[in-house]
Amino acid sequence: VGLIAGGYLVRRRDLIGGTLAAGAALATHAAAGAGNAPVREAGTTRAWVIGTPPGIDSLRLVTRPLREPGPGEALIEVHASSINARDRGIVARQFPVAGPKRADVPLSEGAGRVVAVGAGVTRIRVGDRVASCHFPTWVDGRWDPSVYAADVGNTIDGWLAERIVLPESGLVRLPDEVSYESAATLASSGVTAWHALNVVARVRPGDTVLTLGTGGVSTIGLQLARLAGARVVVTSSSDAKLEKMRELGAMLGVNYRTTPLWGPAIHERTGGVDVVLENVGRATLDQSMEASGNDATIVMIGTGPLPPQLPKMPGLVVKNLGLKAISNGSRRMFEDLLAAIAANGLRPLVERTFEFAQAPDAFREMERSDHVGKVLIRHR
Ligand SMILES: NC(=O)c1ccc[n+]([C@@H]2O[C@H](COP(=O)([O-])OP(=O)(O)OC[C@H]3O[C@@H](n4cnc5c(N)ncnc54)[C@H](OP(=O)(O)O)[C@@H]3O)[C@@H](O)[C@H]2O)c1
């Protein structure tokens, strides 16, 4: 009951409705010479590959053969890419969720122009400006962890190359209003924030949203929450970063270094927030619950460090809180996000831009965590 589409095994019944349903994606990356079909080369590409021993210093710029797009795939000329917290773990080969194959080329976020398509490709045409979901086989519907088998920049090769072959199923066409640079920041942090705010928490005008930190997820989270008519509260280790978040529309900023018990402080100032983008994880969960109002929704996004002691979870029952973890989002969510960004002229905050040849410096910038928003890499 399965068929191969571009090297990705998809259950046949899930194709009948015209889309690959979530959970349908029994994706096996049989491409890049590992599959049965003969592989034809489309020349070469320059790409940054992870070396041994792994880590930022192991990244090497190489020229490697590039195969032609197979059935259900597209060849894309990359214009821009950007880095997420997880990419540092992937480059160090320490990211916890790996599939049957590990990517040689990192980065799950990027955008570019389609220059060739394989057999059977119908949704995308040569010349289209596109980005890709980082789970290309999660098109819509419910989550299924099998989508990790095709995870761009983790279990299949990612965007840190001049050209890349990707499955058509994950590609989204960019609206004219959205630049390559903006689009290249969205597949991970943008889609995750959209999923948290608009699918899980269903944020309403007048709600108060708390978002932790000033990185990629938090800044686009702030922008999208404002778009939905919400007030936004931000925490950060830096007053200067909080000032930038205020310029971006935050109502209140709290420094978690100088106010370690920021949860009660935020509760007092706001009467309790309605939604928390928990971008850190277990270490901050107690304070997030303290900041929450009755019936608030806390969306678990961060995969950060363990706390010195387990969360006490004081308010979970008393406040009737909702606690929901998410892993990125579907193609449907990415398409909705792009439509909202185009309609409102929203520009994701890119604070630092590096040239393709300086890609390791962009990773070091992420490591220093001096940035607010996104760190971008320009490819052309
Ligand atoms: N579940 C998912 O699908 C998903 C998707 C994307 C990202 N993530 C996770 O979300 C987190 C953020 O990712 P990112 O790409 O936005 O990272 P990033 O750009 O590197 O930003 C990390 C931010 O974390 C903040 N931070 C660290 N400790 C903090 C604390 N105790 N309280 C508040 N903020 C704290 C820092 O804020 P300051 O510098 O302002 O102090 C920093 O700006 C990571 O754990 C990542 O793995 C999960």
pLDDT band with cut points at 50, 70 and 90 for residue 187: very high
The closest-lying atom of ligand 1 relative to the alpha carbon of residue 300 is 1
The closest-lying atom of ligand 1 relative to the alpha carbon of residue 234 is 33
Question: Residue 99's pLDDT is what?
Answer: 64
Q: Strand runs (DSSP E) across 122-264, as ranges?
A: 129-132, 163-167, 171-173, 208-212, 231-236, 252-255
pLDDT tens per residue, range 143-179: 999 999 999 999 999 999 999 999 999 999 999 999 9
pLDDT band with cut points at 50, 70 and 90 for residue 311: confident
Q: Which segment of 96-105, 259-268, 349-358 scores lowest on mean pLDDT?
A: 96-105
The closest-lying atom of ligand 1 relative to the alpha carbon of residue 235 is 33
- Scan for tokens 């290309």, then name that residue: 136
Query: Regarding predicted confidence, which is higher, 97 or 221?
Result: 221
Evaluate if residue 314 carries a pLDDT over 80.
Answer: no
The residue whose CB lies within 8 Å of the most ligand 1 atoms, and thus the one to mutate among 191, 248, 279, is 279
| Average pLDDT for 31-54 | 75
> Which helix (H) or strand (E) covers residue 161, if one does?
none
Q: What is the 3-state secondary structure (H, E, C) of 344-362?
A: HCCCCCEEEEEEHHHHHHH
pLDDT band with cut points at 50, 70 and 90 for residue 27: very low
| Average pLDDT for 212-216 | 98
Query: Regarding predicted confidence, which is higher, 164 or 23?
Result: 164
Residue 329 backbone class (left: φ over 0; alpha: ψ -120 to 50; beta: rest): beta
In contact, 373 and 216? CB cutoff 8 Å: yes
Evaluate if residue 209 carries a pLDDT over 50.
Answer: yes
CA of 84 to the centre of ligand 1 (A): 9
Query: In sequence order, what are the residues at sequence separation of 6 or more whose Cβ sits closer than 8 angstroms to the Cβ of residue 31?
Result: 6, 7, 8, 67, 70, 73, 156, 165
DSSP at 305: P
The residue whose CB lies within 8 Å of the most ligand 1 atoms, and thus the one to mutate among 217, 224, 300, 328, is 217
* Any ligand 1 atom below 6 A from CB of 86: yes
Tell me the β-bridge partners of 172: 131
pLDDT tens per residue, range 69-123: 999 999 999 999 999 999 999 999 998 766 678 999 999 999 999 999 999 999 9
Residue 162 Cα distances to 52, 84, 115, 171, angstroms: 22, 19, 12, 17
CA of 38 to the centre of ligand 1 (A): 42
* Any ligand 1 atom below 6 A from CB of 329: no
Q: Strand runs (DSSP E) across the chain, as ranges?
A: 2-5, 8-11, 41-49, 60-67, 73-82, 109-117, 129-132, 163-167, 171-173, 208-212, 231-236, 252-255, 273-278, 292-300, 322-325, 350-355, 374-378
| Average pLDDT for 301-306 | 90
* Any ligand 1 atom below 6 A from CB of 185: no
CA of 375 to the centre of ligand 1 (A): 13
Dig out the tokens for 292 from the structure. 């929450």
Question: Residue 309's pLDDT is what?
Answer: 84
Evaluate if residue 24 carries a pLDDT over 60.
Answer: no
